[in-house]
Chain A
């Protein structure tokens, strides 16, 4: 059990990343009741945007200097893709039955993946992502990756900024109003179309930050990386209570820690040797989701709301 702190830290890192991506799912769902399945690909495009920005800098630029440019590049790529998707794929279907935009989202997800596969130079294989050199910061058998420090700082910071934005700014309050009742909000003079675009853009920006963290942590980006990460983040959003931004972060953390614990300890439970290890981590994560939804159908922090039709 002496590896418990390390396993918790592993899960925490994974969870912060899931949480950052999950915010995009939850905000869009909260406002337009759309599960944007292309969000995983928005995340992936953020990674490629950051890599492109890095490649555009003069060779040998210190990563400390490059990092803000990379974040900017990633955010720009993600936000542009997400707002374009909203404008051309989702807005025309706003009044259509709910299944139509859902199917569009799945189609868009495949299309975005294939566009990167086909057109990004070298994108058919995994591409190396720049990393900070140096040994992990250690304390006995416990250690923290230098590259993970970015995530450790960026994720809570993003969360704080978002909370402040939603509570304190005019646009943020307009978002809350639109989420509660779009028709009334419109009557009160809120430009709901603009609010929806803002929700998409904010979610995309956070996904891009997560993508930079992903690149730093794993040292590579590839065109398929959005699929599994997106699925996990969606799970995190549901687990935490979809529609609730704090729930998304909490759901991500719970999911990340659960996966890490399942990989580490299930194997040691007598009789469970076959059901443990890395290959079963996803299974246990979804078992947890089912259990939580059985007990609390609205998710950990979700509020029970009447389904609007």
Chain B
């Protein structure tokens, strides 16, 4: 009896540990190829791997899967066109579950993976913060399709106008929150004619940063911030905050954070008597937001970087190819930016090979890093190029609003200051 019960307990504990291991680590790394060295170009074509780090599982997986699939699509297109003669591209995707610690482990794994010449990702600014140094030490190029925190490229003192590039290996195809937050404030004050805003954030690198930039610009324009509050990511009950917002007489709410909390927050605000639109950044611009708001998201607003991928002529091919590839999950908010990020690495590989007399150089990683800064091409999201800080030179933004249960474009514009 004693033995058999011990057995049952052992099995239960083992099962628990195994399952939790699957869930919390990047155990589901789906490597697109064996990690063949980049420089063993003896016969046939050289395998070059583009690493991916994104939240492929967990609450942000809708965005993460879009990133993963779009990068894979880019490598498939490059291979089909034989874009870089003598080079076959493949991917190695890591799951960070939006967790900075897991992100750092993934960064180390990608650095150790010999064939990886560049990494697309991650989604979250807070995750990028832990990964940047690992990549920089290894001289491995990183292009984020979604990070918007200004600190990542401009340094912590950007607020006072002192820009210092943090890491030479860091690039991004997404615009920063400086641009996004100010654009949002200008839209809310000038176009939507709102003057009393309640500002809430989730205390994360992205959310708190965006909310602060928004609030400063809104006040500068002449609006009033009638109150501020913070939530913990993962909280379920926002009824007390809803009561505060309703009592403060706000005509709008700005939320710095992401859709898993923003959806329920919007729902509970309206139920709690604060029937004013919730405005957020690209972190809430996702169909999941509308679902989580339980029909109370109507009229809510969001800014997102770039113009809608569907509207760009340059993106038609991408949209068609993505559909043809038969991916189960949509390319989501960052698909186009991920596709362009992957292509910027492919272009850099091409340039590195061309400058080496058509052969794959032995130090491909370092060469890709030098070439990446000079890359210039027309991508699916518009012109792709990086400035001296590694930020994109494309500063287009769009305001979306929830109408009849889906995000609809309200206004696109180019931020000019």
Q: A residues touching B (Cβ–Cβ < 8 Å)?
A: 2-3, 6-7, 10-11, 13-14, 88-89, 91-93, 104, 107-108, 110-111, 113-115, 117-118, 124-126, 128, 131, 136, 138, 141, 143, 145, 214, 218-220, 222, 224-225, 228-229, 259-260, 263-264, 267, 277-282
Contacts and interface: CB of A to CB of B under 8 A. Distances in A.
B273 A7 contact: no
Nearest to B61: A124
Contacts of A115: 19
A219 B273 contact: no
B235 A278 contact: yes
Contacts of B9: 89, 92-93, 104
Interface of B: 5-6, 8-9, 12-13, 15-17, 19-20, 22-23, 57-59, 61-62, 200, 203, 228-232, 234-241, 243-244, 246-247, 260, 263-264, 267-268, 271-273, 288, 291-292, 294
30 contacts: A10-B239, A11-B240, A89-B9, A89-B12, A92-B5, A104-B9, A104-B12, A104-B13, A107-B17, A110-B19, A111-B19, A115-B19, A117-B23, A118-B19, A124-B57, A124-B58, A126-B59, A126-B260, A128-B294, A131-B294, A218-B236, A219-B292, A220-B264, A264-B243, A264-B244, A277-B229, A277-B230, A278-B200, A278-B238, A279-B230
A270 B229 CA distance: 16
Contacts of B232: 278-279, 282
A115 B244 CA distance: 38
B24 to A, nearest CB: 9
Contacts, number: 135
Contacts of A10: 239-240, 243, 272
A7 B240 contact: yes
A198 B32 CA distance: 52
Secondary structure at chain B's binding surface: helix, strand, loop or mixed? helix
Given A107-B13, A110-B20, A278-B230, A219 B294 contact: yes
A224 B234 CA distance: 9
Given A10-B272, A93-B9, A145-B271, 17 more contacts: A3-B243, A10-B239, A14-B237, A107-B17, A111-B19, A114-B23, A117-B23, A218-B264, A218-B268, A229-B236, A263-B229, A264-B243, A278-B232, A279-B203, A279-B229, A279-B230, A282-B232
Given A124-B61, A278-B230, A136 B239 contact: no
A228 B273 contact: no
Nearest to A138: B273
A92 B264 contact: no
A167 to B, nearest CB: 33
Nearest to A263: B240
Nearest to A142: B273
A6 B245 CA distance: 12
A111 B260 contact: no
A10 to B, nearest CB: 4
B61 A2 contact: no
A13 B271 CA distance: 14
A92 B246 CA distance: 53
Contacts of B240: 7, 10-11, 259-260, 263-264, 278, 281
Give the 6 A-B CB pairs with smallest separation, nearest first.
A92-B5, A111-B16, A114-B19, A263-B240, A279-B230, A107-B16
Contact of B234 (A14, A110, A118, A228): A228
A229 B236 CA distance: 9
A143 B275 CA distance: 13
A114 B16 CA distance: 8
Contacts of A224: 234
Contacts of B267: 218-219
A215 to B, nearest CB: 11
Most chain B beta carbons < 10 A, residue from A2, A115, A218, A224: A218
A235 to B, nearest CB: 15
Nearest to B1: A92
B71 to A, nearest CB: 21
B13 A114 contact: no
B229 A228 contact: no
